[in-house]
Amino acid sequence: MDRDPPPNFSTADSSTNWTSSSLASASVDADYLLSGDSETTILTEFGWNFDSDEVQPSRFLDSDQIATDYNADFAGTSTGSLQSPDVPVPLASNPSLSSSSSGEPPEKQPEIPRNKVKKKGQKRIRQPRFAFMTKSEVDHLEDGYRWRKYGQKAVKNSPFPRSYYRCTNSKCTVKKRVERSSEDPTVVITTYEGQHCHHTVGFPRGGGLNMAHEPAFGTQFSPHMAQFFYPEPHPPPTITPPNAPNLPSVAPSQAEPTNSSPQVASDEGLLGDVVAPGMRRR
DNA sequence: CGCCTTTGACCAGCGC
DNA sequence: GCGCTGGTCAAAGGCG
Ligand SMILES: [Zn+2]
């Protein structure tokens, strides 16, 4: 039954509005003000590529908690306002950046058939992305789905590397990007890309009474976002600007950067509907 | 035994 | 035209 329903992902494969990386440039706006009041903050919402050229990178953010183009500001982060003077940021954390910058290791590489990394004709189609800012020390936030890490890269301007995750479902093309804020090591930015075409793996056992709207098919990012962007299994042609004042209320004022259970503390507001605390193991 | 994490290398797009 | 960054894949290893 729920084997593999047509995901219907790329509504318009040839529209891909956003052009991949827009970080190199960007004027850097850094709008995101993750004050210390919220635990989770919806960072951005990237453009939809439906079929109309009019639909541009939707950038609706009305609240102070929502920001746009996190990619941009992240690449540059130079507003100066967020600049933390005493950000420890131990660079030692960097396992391996470089790549093609400084010298080049003369040795290494057993040399093998280098015929991987995608084909040439394969165009990179990106899907709407949603970034969430969550205050937590663990970058592996449970969202109810199983992810497999497929890469990690050091981000410029950020002492912390970025991790790339992909849904373990073969039919699912949802990807997740997790990285830590360069300014606030306690803040983890999780960027979701795509929609899950399957139900959550783990199931809320013992806490399923609260799942009033348990969207078996719309559980991709967060129930709140789903209401605004994914009222239906598939992205509608017209999205309603999340100007709703309900967004900010997503996170309870749990300003407690301490440690232990950071995001779980308030996941009942964001992920609580998708995943239950303590359902997964890893 | 199976699954997932880790690491290096490669590619594509974009900027300059 | 070259260089850079981001993004992805693949193989091996580790852990449960
Ligand atoms: Zn999935």
Q: Give the Cα separation of A24 and A72 in Å (integer).
A: 8
Query: What pLDDT shows up at residue A169?
Result: 87
CA distances from A259 to A75, A209, A255 (A): 27, 29, 11
Q: What is the pLDDT of residues A25-84, one digit of tens each?
A: 322 333 333 333 346 666 544 443 333 333 333 333 322 333 333 333 333 333 333 333
Q: State what percent of residues in chain A have pLDDT above 90.
A: 6
Nearest residue to nucleotide B10, by CA–C1' distance, is A117
**What Å value separates CA A95 and C1' B5?**
14
Q: What is the mean pLDDT of residues A219-240?
A: 38
pLDDT digits (tens, 9 = 90+) for A84-131: 333 333 333 333 333 333 333 333 334 444 455 654 545 566 667 778
The answer to whether residue A222 scores a pLDDT higher than 50 is no
Distance of A100 CA from C1 C1′ (whole Å) = 18
B chain positions with any atom within 7 Å of a protein CB: 3-16
pLDDT digits (tens, 9 = 90+) for A176-206: 999 888 778 788 888 888 888 887 755 544 3
Q: Is the CB of A117 under 7 A from strand C?
A: yes
**Distance of alpha carbon A111 from alpha carbon A118, whole angstroms:** 19
Nearest to A45 by CA among A27, A31, A25, A35: A31
The pLDDT, as a whole number, for residue A155 is 87
Q: What are A41's strand-pairing partners?
A: A133
CATH no. of A134-193: 2.20.25.80
Give tens-digit pLDDT for A139-158.
Answer: 677 788 899 999 999 988 88
Distance CA A274, CA A167 (A): 15
Q: Is the ipTM of this complex over 0.90?
A: yes
Residue A164 pLDDT class (50, 70, 90 cuts): very high
Q: Which residues touch strand B (CB under 7 A)?
A: A 19-21, 24-25, 95-96, 99, 105, 108-109, 114, 116-120, 123-124, 140, 146-153, 163, 168, 282
Tokens of A47: 């453009």
